Amino acid sequence: MKRELTPKEVIFKIICNEAEEKKERIIPEIQDSYKRVGRALSIEKDGFNLYVIDSFSKNKLKQLIKYIKEQYKKLEPPKDICYVVVEDAKKPEAIFVENGKGKQLKETVESLKTKYLEFAEDFYNSSSNEKKDKLIDEIESKRTKYINELMDMAKVEGFDVKASAKGFAFIPINNGEALTEEQYDDLDKEKKESISLKAASLKKKAEGILDTLKEIEVRYIKKLKNIYSKFLIVEMEEYKDNALLEFVNDDESYEYLERLFIEIEKEVVNTYTMSIEDDEAGLYEIINKYAVKILVDNSINLSPVVIYEEDPSINNLMGSVEYENNNGVYTTDISLINSGSMIRANEGCIIIRISSLATSPYSYYYLKKALMTNKLSYDTSRVYSEVVSINGLKPKPIPIKLKVILIGDYESYDTLYNADEDFKKLFPLRAEFTDIVEMKDEVVFYLKDYVKNRIKENNIKEIDDDAIMEVLKYLCRRANSKSKINIDDIDIDKLIILTNNYTKERGGETISKEDVTAIAYEEEKVEEEYMKMFKENKILLSLNGKKVGSINALAVLDTGYHSFGKPMRVTCVAYKGTGRIVDIQKESNLSGKIHEKSINILKGLLSSILDPYESMTVDFHLSFEQIYGLIEGDSASVSEMICILSALSKKTIRQNISVTGSLNQFGEVQPIGGVNEKIEGFYKVCKLVDNVKNKGVLVPSSNKDEIILNSKIEKSIENGDFHIYTMETLNDAIEVMILEDGETIEDFFKTINEELKKYEDKDKDKDKDKDK
C-alpha cells in the first residue's frame, strides 16, 4: 500500500511538560551508571577495580571525579607516607603516618638528630662526668707509664724512642745524639750486630707493651661506652619522651621512633674512640643517614584522594629514584626518591585512560603487578642502575590499597578481557556510560541548562530559545531517533562554539536558530565537489519521467569525520539465460561481503515470488553506474529488486523518486542507516540539477522515527513539493515506483509471467528447430 508521511509526521518538534521544569535535572541512564561506580568504590576487597566504558572529555572526567569525591566525603582522611632509614641506608622502609603528620615526623627526627650530635660532642668535650674522666685519666696514666718504661729501657740500651703510625722506632744514640747513617756505616761489624740485636729486643718488648696498651684501651673503652650509652639515654630521655608523646596514637611512627633511638645510640656508641677528631666524621655520617623522605603529604586532604593520571608513564605512575652525577660518579640517597600517582592515590582512587596506558606497555605491566601484589615497588628504577653499574637504593615495597578506574571503549575492554587473564581478575567490574538516552522532560531541561551554562562559562554570545531547540533537534538527529537524544558534551560544545564564531562573522548579537542550522548542516569540501559533478552532469542521473531497468538509489559516503548522502543510478538488463543475477560489482571485485550476501538473498526472493517450482530462463545484469569504488552494505536491496523486476516486466520506474531499503528472503523491508543523509542528499541534487517539486524518496517504514531533517526540507514537505513515502514490503515499493493508478500487484505479476513466457517460447521454438 502506498503510504506518504504527512508534514506532521516529518516536521520535528520537542514538546515538554512545563510543569516538570522545576524538578531535579537528572538523566536516569547516567544515574544508573554512576550507581555502578559507587558500588565498585564501596567494595573494600582487593581486585575489584573498575572499567568505565565511555567516550572521554574533560567535562565527563570532571563530573566523574566530583562524584567519587562525594562518595569519599565521609571516609577517614588518608595517611601520609614516608620512607625512613632504620638499619640499612640502602634499603629505606615505608611507614604510614597519621594524616598531616609526615612533616611533623620529619621535623621531629631532624631535631632529635641535632640533639644527639650536641650531646655526643658534649660527652667528648665535657669534664663533668667523673667516672668518664677517671677512666680516661687511668688510661692516659697507664699509657704514659708503659711508654716511659719503654723509653727508659731504650735509653739504658743506648736508643732513643720515636712514635710512628706503625708503632715505635728505635734510633741508636751516641754521646746523647742520634747516630747518623754515615756514623752507623763507619761502625765495625761487631758493633752493628750489637745494635741490631738490642733494637730487635726492644721492638719485641715494645710489641708486648702495645698489646698490653690495646687490651687496657679495649677494656676501658668498653667501660667508657657503657658510660656513654647511659649518658645519651639520660640526656636524651626528655626529648625522646616528647617525641614519642607526639605520636602516641600513631603506632607505626611510635614504633619507628623507638627503633630509631636504639639504632642511633648503638651506632654512635660503637664509633667512640675517645678522640673527637678521629670520630667526628663518622659521627656526622651516622647521624645524617637517618633521614625521613615524605613521599605523600596528605595534610590538605580531608578525605581519600582522587587522581587523574594524564600521562601514565612508568615514572609518573609508579615513581622513580633519581641519580646525581658528581664528577662522573653517580650517587643517590633517600631524598632522591620521587612518588608516583599510584602511591599518591593510596586509600583513594586513580583514573587512567586506557588509550594513554596503551602507549606505555611497561606501565600496564607494573600497574598489574602492583594490583596483584598490593605492593608498589621501585624496582622499575633499577634498570637504569643496572645499565650504568650503580649500587643504587633498593627501597622496600610499599603496601597499597586503592581503586583503579580505567576509561576506554568496548573494543579495548573486550580485547583485554578475553586476551589477558590478569585483566579479567583485576577489572571484573564494568560501568557503561551512554551518550544516547531516552528523550524525557527532565533530560530536555537538563540539556537546556547545560547549553546556557556552557555559554556563560565560555563567554559566548546569548542564545535564543529557538536556537536552543535547534541544538536539541541536532542532538536527536545525532542519536538517529525522535525519541532519543545525544548528550555527548563534546558534540554540544563543538556546535555551540562554532555557531558562536559564525554569529560573530555575520555581525549578529544573539545566536539564532538559523546560525545553529548553518553550522549543524554545513557542507564539507568533498560534498561540495560531488554536488558540483551532479550539477555539471558529470554524474548522470535522471530525475523526471520513467525508465525501464533504471532506478535512483541512495547511498551514504562516510569519511569518518563527515558523512553525506548522494543518489546513484542502479541499472539492470534482462536477457535469455538460466536465472542468474550477474552482479557487475562482484565480477569486477568491487563488492563487499555484505553486498554479496544481499545479492544471494535477492536470488532466493526472486525465485520464491515468481515460480519456486521452475527455473527461470532469463539472466539479469545488475550494475551501479559510475561507481568506481567498493560497494558495501545491503541498503540498495529494494532498488536492485525493483530494477530487476522492471527489466523483466518491461515496466518503467519513476525517476522522480529515489529508493533506499534492505530486503530479506520473505520480501520484508528492513531498516537502513543514514536515512537523513540519504534524503537530504537526494533533495540537494534535485535542487541543483532540476527542482524539488514532485520529487521524493521511498524509505523503510521502520526508519520513520529516525527522520529529522533540516528546516528547508521540512518547509518543502510542508508546502507539498517534496515527498517521503514509506514501505514495509516489496509490494509497497512496486506500488510506489512502478504501478500506475488503478493497476494492482496482481496485474504487475501477470505482466511478468507473460514476459517470462516469451523467454520460454523462445526455448520451445529452438527445440522445434533442432527436431527438424
Amino acid at 310: E
Cβ neighbours of residue 385 closer than 8 Å, sequence gap 6 or more: 321, 323, 391, 392
DSSP 3-state of 541: coil
Q: Write the Ramachandran bin of 47: left for phi over 0, alpha for psi from -120 to 50, otherwise beta.
A: left
What is the C-alpha separation between 513 and 14, in angstroms, rounded?
14
- From the candidates 33, 635, 637, 658, which is the catalytic residue? 635
| Residue 567 near residue 553, CB atoms below 8 Å | yes
Burial of residue 309, with CB atoms counted within 10 A of its CB: 0-12 exposed, 13-18 middle, 19 or more buried: buried
DSSP 3-state of 40: helix
Displacement of CA 76 from its chain's centroid (Å): 28
Q: List beta partners, residue 82.
A: 95, 294
What is the C-alpha separation between 405 and 51, in angstroms, rounded?
6
Q: List beta partners, residue 331.
A: 324
Q: Write the Ramachandran bin of 579: left for phi over 0, alpha for psi from -120 to 50, otherwise beta.
A: left
Instruction: Give alpha helix (H) positions in 271-395.
Output: 276-289, 314-318, 341-344, 354-358, 361-373, 382-387
Of the candidates 547, 577, 554, the residue with the CA atom closest to the CA atom of residue 662? 554
Q: If you compute the radius of gyration of the chain from its CA atoms, what whole number of angstroms results?
A: 47
| Residue 243 near residue 258, CB atoms below 8 Å | no
DSSP 380: G
What is the C-alpha separation between 645 and 651, in angstroms, rounded?
8
| Residue 259 near residue 86, CB atoms below 8 Å | yes
Q: Is 66 a catalytic site residue? A: no
Cβ neighbours of residue 763 closer than 8 Å, sequence gap 6 or more: 617
In this structure, what are the phi and psi dihedrals at residue 659, rounded to the nearest 5 degrees? -125, 145
C-alpha angle 557-563-568 in degrees, rounded to nearest 5: 30
Q: Which residue, chain included where needed, has cell 669534664? A: 127
DSSP 379: G
Q: List beta partners, residue 574.
A: 620
| Residue 64 near residue 52, CB atoms below 8 Å | yes
What is the C-alpha separation between 721 and 694, in angstroms, rounded?
5
Inter-CA distances, 403 with 61, 202, 602, Å: 16, 78, 54
- From the candidates 101, 106, 113, 678, which is the catalytic residue? 678
Question: How big is the chain, counted in residues?
Answer: 772
Cell of 546: 520513467
Cα four-point dihedral sign 176, 179, 184, 189: positive
Q: List beta partners, residue 723.
A: 696
What is the C-alpha separation between 588 and 314, in angstroms, rounded?
51
Longest pairwise C-alpha distance within the chain: 164
C-alpha angle 515-56-43 in degrees, rounded to nearest 5: 140
Q: Is 712 a catalytic site residue? A: no
Classify strands 93-97 and 80-84 as parallel, antiparallel or unpaired: antiparallel
Of the candidates 226, 224, 227, the residue with the CA atom closest to the CA atom of residue 140? 224
In this structure, what are the phi and psi dihedrals at residue 681, rounded to the nearest 5 degrees? -65, -45
Cα four-point dihedral sign 389, 393, 398, 402: negative
Report the catalytic residues: 635, 678
